Amino acid sequence: MSHEKILILDFGSQYTQLIARRVRELNIYSEIHPYNKLPDINDGWNAVILSGSPHSVHDLDGPDFDLSKIKGKLPLLGICYGAQYLAHRYGGTVVPSKIREYGRANLSFVASSNKLLESISLNSQVWMSHGDTIETLPDDYEVIASTHNIQIAAFKVDNELTYGLQFHPEVYHTIEGATILENFLVNICGFSQDWTPNAFIEETVLDIQERIGSGKVVLGLSGGVDSTVAAMLLKQAIGDNLYCIFVDNGLLRKNEFQSVLDQYKGMGLNIQGVDAKDLFYNALKDVSEPEKKRKIIGSIFIDVFDEKAKEIDNVEWLAQGTIYPDVIESISATGGPSATIKSHHNVGGLPDYMKLKVIEPLKTLFKDEVRKIGRSMGIDNEILDRHPFPGPGLGIRILGSITKEKVQVLQEADYIFIESLKSEGLYTKVWQAGVVFLPVQSVGVMGDERTYENAVVLRAVESTDGMTADWVHLPYDFLAKVSNDIINKVKGVNRVVYDISSKPPATIEWE
Average pLDDT, the chain: 89
**pLDDT at residue 354 in the model:** 65
Residue 282 has pLDDT above 80, yes or no: yes
- How many Cβ atoms are within 10 Å of 310's Cβ, its own excluded? 11
For residue 493, give the H/E element and its range.
Answer: strand 493-498
**pLDDT at residue 333 in the model:** 31
Cis peptide before 169 (omega within 30 of 0): no
DSSP string, 304-327: HHHHHHTTSTTEEEEE----HHHH
Residue 461 has pLDDT above 90, yes or no: yes
**pLDDT at residue 236 in the model:** 95
Instruction: Tell me if 260 sits within 8 A of 271, measured CB to CB.
Output: no
**Contacts of residue 304, Cβ cutoff 8 Å, sequence gap at least 6:** 247, 274, 276, 279
**Contacts of residue 505, Cβ cutoff 8 Å, sequence gap at least 6:** none
**Contacts of residue 68, Cβ cutoff 8 Å, sequence gap at least 6:** none
Mean pLDDT of 23-31: 92
Band (pLDDT 50/70/90 cuts) for residue 447 is low
Residue 223 has pLDDT above 90, yes or no: no
CA distances from 360 to 3, 20, 247, 371 (A): 19, 20, 19, 16
Instruction: Tell me if 144 sits within 8 A of 90, measured CB to CB.
Output: no
Identify each DSSP E strand in 63-181 by its residue range.
76-79, 93-110, 125-136, 141-147, 154-157, 162-165
Going by C-alpha positions, the residue among 38, 39, 50 that lies closest to residue 13 is 50
3-state SS assignment for residue 194 = coil
**pLDDT at residue 343 in the model:** 41
Share of the chain above pLDDT 90, in %: 67
Mean pLDDT of 253-273: 92
Alpha carbon distance 114, 110 (integer Å):
9
**pLDDT at residue 336 in the model:** 44
Condensed to tens digits (0 to 9), the pLDDT of residues 366-385 reads 888 999 999 999 998 888 98
The span from the first CA to the last CA of the chain, in angstroms, equals: 42
The residue that leads in pLDDT, 277 or 450, is 277
**pLDDT at residue 334 in the model:** 33
Share of the chain above pLDDT 70, in %: 93
**pLDDT at residue 86 in the model:** 96
**pLDDT at residue 323 in the model:** 87
Mean pLDDT of 398-417: 96
Indicate the range of 64-73, 298-307, 348-357, 378-387 predicted with least confidence.
348-357
Dihedral sign for Cα atoms in the order 155, 157, 163, 166: negative
Which residues belong to the active site? Answer: 80, 168, 170
**pLDDT at residue 341 in the model:** 36
Condensed to tens digits (0 to 9), the pLDDT of residues 318-359 reads 999 888 877 776 553 334 444 333 444 443 445 556 678 889
Parallel, antiparallel, or unpaired for β 29-34 and 141-147? Answer: unpaired
Mean pLDDT of 116-135: 91
Burial of 167 (0-12, 13-18, 19+ CB in 10 A): buried
**pLDDT at residue 364 in the model:** 86
DSSP string, 46-90: EEEEE---SS-TT-TTS-----TTTBTTB-EEEETHHHHHHHHHT
Mean pLDDT of 145-162: 94
Instruction: Tell me if 317 sits within 8 A of 218, measured CB to CB.
Output: yes
Burial of 227 (0-12, 13-18, 19+ CB in 10 A): buried
- How many Cβ atoms are within 10 Å of 161's Cβ, its own excluded? 20
**pLDDT at residue 101 in the model:** 67
Instruction: Tell me if 194 sits within 8 A of 232, measured CB to CB.
Output: no
